[in-house]
Amino acid sequence: MWDRLLGHLAARRGWRALVTAAGLGALAALALPPVHAVPVLLVAIPGLLVMLGAAPTGRAAFWVGFAWGWGHFAAGLYWITHAILVEAERFWWLVPIAAPALALPLALFVAGPAALAWRVRAGWPRVLVFAGAWVGFELLRGWVFTGFPWNLLGTVWAFGALPVQAAAWVGVHGLSLVTLLVMATPLLGRRAMLGGAAALAGFAAFGLVRLWPEEPAPRPVGLLIVQGNVAQELKWREEQRIPVLRRYIEGTREAALAALRDLPEDYGLVVIWPETAVPFLLADDPEVRRLVAGALPQRAMLLSGSVRAEFGAQGRAQRVFNSLVAIDPAGEVRGVADKVTLVPFGEYMPLSGLLPIRIVQGGMDFSSGGERRPVRAGWVPPFGALICYEVIFPGRVTPAERPDWLVNVTNDAWFGISAGPWQHLAAARLRAIEEGLPLARAAQTGVSAVFDARGREVARTGLGETGVLMAPLPAAREPTPFARFGLPIGGILAVLALASGWWAGRKTNRQP
């Protein structure tokens, strides 16, 4: 049956080959969060490689890879449509094309490896070239056009802490490389499949060894994450501004008092509100800060997402920032972090003035915060602030001066009840493991969570729920190899795989 399936795939030509490849790519998306149906890759990856081998020319192989990538990203990023539906009356025409259109440039990052793999002979050489080139293009995807490293292939294993512990050494890109090599083994015979199974068993054993030791005692800090569950279409309406503020204040007041009663007397409490939690300029509005401070006990500190503005001489805003603001019980601002990596089209318009439409809300683009620095807010252990999708960038989440923990505030209300928030959560888990730092995540509609420095889930709220999450702040661990050396680890592994496959597979007369 397996040979018959491969033969059927190899026989596809023309538009039928492209449709079939797109279907295989969409099938591979089921391996991503939240489904994590990883075994589908045992069909999707070999199927793609067989179709590449059967392609008559390098150009045909390129388009087969492009179709596979388009199907994969269109299916994996379908939830982008939810953001369009928030303002369907303005952007209704984007609803059917948003995800397919975004998948078009992303498909190039599969087409490139496909074209390179076609040029070497079948077997291990083609698998190595394809896997190495895939990881190289994954790394490139994190930088081109400001970068969009969402749904890197290694995230398929992020359904738990154990399968992804190797990310501490090789990063998510190293996991992507191993995933491709293992999933291609059905093309390489029984011994290769046994080797792939042994590799997965080795990774599991490595995970057990890392997770076996008892965790260090937590820091003398309690965390209280408030998940307001405010629908995006309501959040910025004028008549909803006070109700939204009241929801967060009231949700914090009783929960903070209860949390401090349960904590030792020498513990402090860090309250975390999500990205742009309340529709006010918190850092610039003393009256709103006074109301917020009324919900904070004396041993508490609030970290809240908020829009921040810089005003000119005429009292007009000259620049606006997507920020995280620390507020103490006296209503004073104790620290600010501005978002560094902005979302194209969501927070600023690329090629400003050249596009005929404006998707960014409001009359101004957001400004970047510049260099990433640890935030120091009174007695709170210094932390790295990651606002929204900044957490998806491996190797770029910590400042040069290593913080004690990471805080990720986000507003996934844009994406409704979909796969988007779960994919975002998986990226956050991987960053904790790669950096060896605990991570607290506050999401407007969920999923909010706390991970320890090994990526184990300490606590979590549900998606689309209103509530609070209470947990101790886990201790930081020693810097991991990935924290020390970063993305070059994945780059070196990619080059080694590609070069060895190219050297072994080069020949004058290419055979499928």
pLDDT at 331 over 50: yes
**Helix (H, G, I), strand (E, B), or coil: what is residue 386?**
strand
What does the pLDDT look like over 282-327, one tens digit per residue?
Answer: 999 999 999 999 999 999 999 999 999 888 777 777 899 999 999 9
Selecting among 138, 235, 339, 347, the annotated active-site residue is 339
pLDDT at 509 over 50: no
Selecting among 138, 235, 275, 435, the annotated active-site residue is 275
| 87 among known catalytic residues | no
pTM: 0.94
State the average pLDDT for the chain.
92
Assign residue 136 a region: left if phi > 0, alpha if psi is -120 to 50, beta otherwise? alpha
pLDDT at 510 over 60: no
CA distance 414 to 81: 9
DSSP 389: G
Selecting among 138, 235, 388, 435, the annotated active-site residue is 388
CA 357 from chain center: how many Å?
Answer: 27
pLDDT at 266 over 70: yes
CA distance 107 to 496: 24
Per DSSP, the residues of 426-478 read HHHHHHHHHHT--EEEEESSS--EEE-TT--EEEEPPTT--EEEEEE-PPP-P
CA 241 from chain center: how many Å?
Answer: 29
CA distance 249 to 231: 17
* Of 420, 401, 419, the residue nearest 410 (C-alpha): 420
Return the pLDDT at 370. Answer: 84
What does the pLDDT look like over 380-415, one tens digit per residue?
Answer: 999 999 999 999 999 999 999 999 999 999 999 888
Other CB atoms within a 10 A radius of the CB of residue 84 amount to 20
In order of start, what are the domains of the chain with their CATH numbers? Answer: 2-212+487-505 (no CATH), 221-476 (3.60.110.10)
Residue 508 pLDDT class (50, 70, 90 cuts): very low
| 339 among known catalytic residues | yes
Instruction: Note the residue count of the chain.
Output: 512
Residue 427 burial (C-beta neighbours within 10 Å; 0-12, 13-18, 19+): buried
Return the structure tokens found at 31. 């391996």
| 275 among known catalytic residues | yes
CA atoms within 13 A on the CB side of 335: 20
Q: What does the pLDDT average to over 165-178?
A: 98
Return the structure tokens found at 159. 């359904």
List the beta strands (DSSP E) in 193-312: 221-227, 268-273, 300-311
Residue 507 pLDDT class (50, 70, 90 cuts): low
Provide the b/e sequence for 308-319 (b: ≥16 CB within 10 Å): bbeeeeeeebee
Which pairs from 236-241 meet CB under 8 Å and 24+ separation?
236/279, 236/361, 240/279, 241/278, 241/279, 241/280
List the beta strands (DSSP E) in 179-262: 221-227
Return the structure tokens found at 302. 């609030």
Q: What does the pLDDT average to over 112-133?
A: 97
